[in-house]
């Protein structure tokens, strides 16, 4: 059993003075194992986004540690974090993940270009990924000509194509209707099972969270409950 | 690739804004090119006006003559100098002149002035005296001919064919001498100083009157085949005739006032250029910021997925570079189209006298290769520099903050 991400007493406080300080993450201890399909759930403002950003090296914690594949990233510099995110983390956000002036194919290629992946390899992976997320034939469409669900699939394909250790998705279905949302989650689940990709995603939606194999309940920046099915 | 391609496509996200920015920069470049072409045209006009009227592009005098036109300081043997000038391949034309202060009187009035003895044929190739004849006719070499400026004519209350008496001083002796002339032509140069003060007579008569001998003269005016040669002090015209007794100077040295005006006019272009591009730069900065603000969320995502800040900054700089390149192409084409008209038809001025120089009524703009090479390079540099601040701003975007912005 491999641990992909581990947080140790992770804290992220906002605000300067005692009274106005918000504890967006408050001594959070989470271990994410390889191949897990985890949902972080909790009411608005409970700290889901904060924890995902900290795990992905997008933000620096006030205190505590984040280990990614055994490496402590909490103290890394901006440049190191940037390369870390490029090579080891896949991000999917709620919406507008894609570059509007690039086609689906070019969007999927983007991170691979940053990584310096060879053209032939890139083209191969693009094809493969488009097939995996069920978008074969739409490679030349720009995001504006894709539905919300299709755009999110391209975002998943882009994340997958860069071969990250883990994909972090912050409310990836929040802007989709529930049928499309569930279909998107099925794609993620499929990638999780068939390709052993580790996913952590946040959601409000009951139907969505029911698909997760592990639920981390958050409230006021704290982990309230961590249940594995 | 990528960055350039991405930058290029980004330009068409808000085509209207891009077009407006391009127009702003290209109009500035066009204005700058036309200003430069106008300045060149004007300088040319001034130079021609000064060199073609009377001065020529170079002059040879006896040392010291220019200080106060001492009639005794004349070149005794012009034949030798004229000989060498006629064999000089850089020289187009030359003419010897006598110059002396005189009293000119009609039956009604009297005035002081300068009387030039000129070689009618030689002057025709060198100065505008022949062209300036408004009424009557140019000198033909017949006895007692005199050309006087219109203003002087008005002062003396005379008309064509009237008799006037010219009182001169003989060289060396200082004796007064008088001669009677018949007004054969009235001149209009459009330059008050000349129209009011100068009269022209045949040089042979002048030489006899003031006793300069058959080959004496006070001045030899020279015109080059290539007017630019006036700046080349290493030329034989200058080196051969600058001796202990003679001086040979270009018009630039003879008329310091005008040469400094010309020097200053190039600063004019510079200042206009700076103002134009300060304004254009602000426009560029403004539009780049607008386009960045619209994309803050997108930039947040790009950074989140591993784009380096430098690359993001570079993207913005490439965007401004592309805008600059397109603008330069548009600006140059526009400027060439406009100068197609202004260099042939000209920009009307109305008659004016500028610092003692007659200007023709229009400026023909002048093309110069630097207008489409040098000026656009400045424009590109300035535009890219204007992109630096927005680029820096974009590179500093913090992804967690950018991602919080709801669209
Ligand atoms: N940059 C910030 N400055 C100040 N407070 C912040 C900042 N970011 C987050 N917070 C606060 O931290 C707390 C947790 O926010 P977070 O975005 O992690 O919640 P969330 O669980 O993702 O909520 P939602 O379901 O609405 O997305 C909130 O109270 C929020 O107001
Ligand atoms: Mg959130």
The DSSP-derived string for B147-206 is: EEEHHHHHHHT--TT-EEEEEEE-TTT--EEEEEEEEEEEE--S-HHHHHHEEEEEHHHH
Q: Which atom of ligand 1 is nearest to A15's Cα?
A: 4
Ligand nearest to the CA of A219: 1
> For residue B396, what is the nearest residue in chain A, using CA coordinates?
A78
Considering the domain delimited by A3-228, tell me its CATH architecture: 3-Layer(aba) Sandwich (3.40)
- Asked if A56's CB is within 8 angstroms of B304's CB, the reply is yes
- Grouping H, G, I as helix, E, B as strand and the rest as coil, residue B213 is coil
The residue ranges of every structural domain in chain A are 3-228
Q: What is the pTM of this model?
A: 0.82
> Residue A18: what pLDDT?
80
Ligand nearest to the CA of A45: 1
| Ligand 1 pocket, mutate which of A45, A54, A169, A224 (most atoms under 8 A from CB) | A45
- Cβ neighbours of B305 in A, within 8 Å: 85-86, 90-91, 110-111, 158-159
The DSSP H or E segment spanning A201 is strand A198-203
- Cβ neighbours of A162 in B, within 8 Å: 306
- Asked if A91's CB is within 8 angstroms of B305's CB, the reply is yes
Q: How far is the CA of B298 from the centre of ligand 1 (A)?
A: 20
**Vertex B304, ends B299 and B309: CA angle to 5°?**
60
Q: How far is the CA of A50 from the centre of ligand 2 (A)?
A: 7
- Cβ neighbours of A111 in B, within 8 Å: 305-306
What do you get for the CA distance between the two ends of chain B, in Å? 29
Per DSSP, helices labelled H in B295-355 are 296-304, 309-342
Distance CA B123, CA B369 (A): 35
Strands A37-41, A198-203: parallel, antiparallel or unpaired by DSSP? Answer: parallel
- Cβ neighbours of B308 in A, within 8 Å: 79, 82, 114
Closest CA to A115 of B150, B279, B308: B308
- Asked if A91's CB is within 8 angstroms of B304's CB, the reply is yes
| Ligand 1 pocket, mutate which of A22, A60, A169 (most atoms under 8 A from CB) | A22
Which ranges of chain A have pLDDT less than 70? none
Surface-to-core class of residue B337, CB atoms within 10 Å of its CB (0-12 exposed, 13-18 middle, 19+ buried) = exposed
**B186 with B132: CB under 8 angstroms?**
no
- CB nearest to A82's CB, from B6, B308, B407: B308
For chain B, percent of residues with pLDDT exceeding 70: 96
Closest CA to B101 of B177, B161, B160: B177
> Residue B357: what pLDDT?
52
Distance CA B52, CA B50 (A): 6
> Residue B351: what pLDDT?
57
Question: Which residues place a Cβ less than 5 A from the ion ligand 2?
Answer: A 49
> Residue B280: what pLDDT?
86
- Asked if B6's CB is within 8 angstroms of A99's CB, the reply is yes
Q: Which two tokens stand for residue A64?
A: 């505590």
> For residue A158, what is the nearest residue in chain B, using CA coordinates?
B305
- Asked if B298's CB is within 8 angstroms of A96's CB, the reply is yes
- CB nearest to B407's CB, from A86, A90, A96: A96
> For residue A162, what is the nearest residue in chain B, using CA coordinates?
B305
Q: Where are any strands of DSSP class E within A34-117? A: 37-41, 63-68, 71-72, 89-92
Q: Which atom of ligand 1 is nearest to A52's Cα?
A: 18
For chain B, the average pLDDT equals 90
* Chain B nearest C-alpha distance from A101 (Å): 6
> A interface toward B at CB cutoff 8 Å?
53, 56, 58-59, 78-79, 82-83, 85-87, 90-91, 93, 95-97, 99-102, 110-111, 113-115, 158-159, 162
* Interacting residues of B350 by C-beta distance below 8 A, sequence separation 6+: B361
| Ligand 1 pocket, mutate which of A7, A47, A170 (most atoms under 8 A from CB) | A47
Q: Which two tokens stand for residue A216?
A: 């981390």
CB pairs under 8 A between A and B: 58
- Asked if A83's CB is within 8 angstroms of B403's CB, the reply is no
> Residue B47: what pLDDT?
85
- Asked if B301's CB is within 8 angstroms of A82's CB, the reply is no
> Residue B364: what pLDDT?
85
Which ranges of chain B have pLDDT less than 70? 1, 350-361, 405-407
Report residues whose beta carbon is within 6 angstroms of any ligand 1 atom. Answer: A 14, 22, 24, 42, 44-50
Instruction: State pLDDT tens for residues B212-250.
Output: 988 999 999 999 999 889 888 899 989 989 999 999 999
Distance CA B370, CA B59 (A): 32
- Asked if A97's CB is within 8 angstroms of B301's CB, the reply is yes
For tokens 């280990």, what's the residue?
A: A67
């Amino acid at each position: 059993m491999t641990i992909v991400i581990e947080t140790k007493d992770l804290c992220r406080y906002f605000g300067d003075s005692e009274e106005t300080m918000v504890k967006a993450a408050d001594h959070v201890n989470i271990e994410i194992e390889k191949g897990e399909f985890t949902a972080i759930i909790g009411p608005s403002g409970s700290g889901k986004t904060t924890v995902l950003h900290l795990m992905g090296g997008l933000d620096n914690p006030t205190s505590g540690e984040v280990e990614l594949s055994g490496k402590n990233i909490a103290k890394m510099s901006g440049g190191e974090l940037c390369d870390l995110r490029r090579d080891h983390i896949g991000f999917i956000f709620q919406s507008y993940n894609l570059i509007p002036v690039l086609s689906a194919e070019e969007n999927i290629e983007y991170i691979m270009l940053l990584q310096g992946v060879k053209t032939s390899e890139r083209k191969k992976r693009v094809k493969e990924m488009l097939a995996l997320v069920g978008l074969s034939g739409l490679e030349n469409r720009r995001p504006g000509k894709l539905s919300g669900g299709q755009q999110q699939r391209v975002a998943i394909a882009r994340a997958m194509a860069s071969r990250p250790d883990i994909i972090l998705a912050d409310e990836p279905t929040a802007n989709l209707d529930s049928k499309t949302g569930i279909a998107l989650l099925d794609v993620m689940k499929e990638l999780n099972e068939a390709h052993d990709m580790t996913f952590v995603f946040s959601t409000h939606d009951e139907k969505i969270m029911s698909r997760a194999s592990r639920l981390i309940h958050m409230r006021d920046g704290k982990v309230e409950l961590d249940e594995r099915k | 690739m990528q960055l350039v391609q991405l930058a290029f496509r980004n330009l068409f996200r808000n085509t209207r804004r891009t077009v407006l920015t391009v127009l702003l920069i290209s109009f500035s470049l066009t204005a700058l090119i036309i200003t430069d072409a106008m300045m060149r045209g004007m300088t040319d006009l001034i130079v021609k006006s000064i060199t073609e009227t009377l001065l020529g592009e170079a002059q040879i005098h006896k040392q010291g003559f220019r200080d106060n036109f001492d009639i005794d300081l004349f070149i005794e043997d012009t034949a030798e100098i004229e000989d060498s000038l006629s064999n000089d391949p850089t020289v187009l034309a030359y003419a010897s002149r006598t110059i002396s202060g005189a009293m000119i009187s009609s039956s009604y009035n009297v005035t002081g002035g300068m009387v030039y003895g000129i070689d009618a044929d030689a002057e025709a190739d060198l100065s505008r005296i022949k062209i300036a004849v408004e009424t009557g006719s140019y000198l033909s070499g017949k006895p007692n001919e005199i050309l006087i400026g219109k203003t002087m004519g008005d002062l003396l209350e005379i008309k064509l064919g009237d008799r006037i008496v010219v009182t001169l001083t003989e060289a060396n002796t200082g004796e007064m001498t008088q001669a009677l002339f018949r007004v054969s032509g009235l001149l209009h140069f459009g330059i008050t100083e000349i129209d009011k003060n100068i009269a022209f007579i045949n040089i042979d008569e002048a030489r006899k009157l003031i006793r300069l001998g058959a080959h004496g003269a006070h001045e030899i005016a020279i015109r080059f085949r290539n007017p630019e040669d006036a700046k080349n002090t290493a030329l034989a015209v200058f080196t051969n005739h600058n001796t202990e007794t003679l001086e040979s100077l270009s018009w630039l040295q003879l008329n310091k006032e005008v040469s400094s005006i010309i020097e200053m006019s190039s600063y004019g272009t510079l200042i206009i250029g700076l103002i134009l591009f300060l304004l254009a730069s602000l426009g560029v900065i403004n539009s780049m910021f607008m386009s960045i603000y619209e994309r803050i969320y997108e930039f947040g995502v790009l950074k989140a997925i591993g784009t380096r800040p430098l690359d993001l900054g570079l993207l913005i700089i490439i965007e401004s570079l592309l805008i600059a390149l397109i603008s330069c192409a548009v600006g140059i084409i526009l400027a060439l189209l406009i100068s197609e008209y202004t260099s042939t038809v000209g920009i009307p001025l109305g008659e004016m006298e500028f610092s003692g120089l007659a200007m023709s009524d229009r400026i023909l703009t002048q093309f110069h290769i630097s207008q489409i090479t040098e000026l656009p390079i400045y424009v590109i540099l300035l535009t890219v520099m204007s992109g630096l601040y927005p680029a820096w701003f974009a590179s500093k975007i913090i992804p967690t903050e950018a991602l919080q912005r709801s669209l």
